A = this chain, B = another copy of it.
Amino acid sequence: MRSELLKGHLDSLVLALLEEGPLHGYGIIEQLRRRSDEIFDLPEGTVYPALYRLERAGSVTSTSTSVGGRPRRVYRLARPGRTALDASRRDWLQFSSAVTKILRGSPA
């Protein structure tokens, strides 16, 4: 999978995962891989900056905890993030149906 395809969509995916419960960065990477049937296998250098972006934007909040001596930063969906997620889902439906239509072709 060409990686530029993901551009602009990653934030929505992360928000959707966080909607179901708190997660830390590494866990997000794993969930994306699992739920996409291995299509999305994102490097940390992609996901962590995305999380910082989302936090700066107020869409998520984070708390640093510790599990088994190892530090962990757990992210939670904030209220503005939920709003953004709703908009993202609408955008995705519009976007994906438009692309599908054009890729299918021949609509006269």
Secondary structure class of chain A's binding surface, majority of residues:
helix
A30 to B25, CA, bound (A): 42
Q: Is there a chain B Cβ closer than 8 Å to A19's Cβ?
A: yes
The reply to whether A95 and B8 contact each other, CB–CB distance below 8 Å, is no
Q: Which residues of B contact A63 (CB under 8 A)?
A: none
A27 to B37, CA, bound (A): 38
Chain A positions near chain B (C-beta within 8 angstroms): 1-9, 12-13, 16-17, 19-20, 32, 35-37, 39-40, 88-89, 91-92, 94-96, 98-103, 105-107
Partner of A36, one of B16, B40, B98: B98
Given A9-B5, A107-B35, the answer on whether A100 and B92 have CB atoms closer than 8 Å is yes
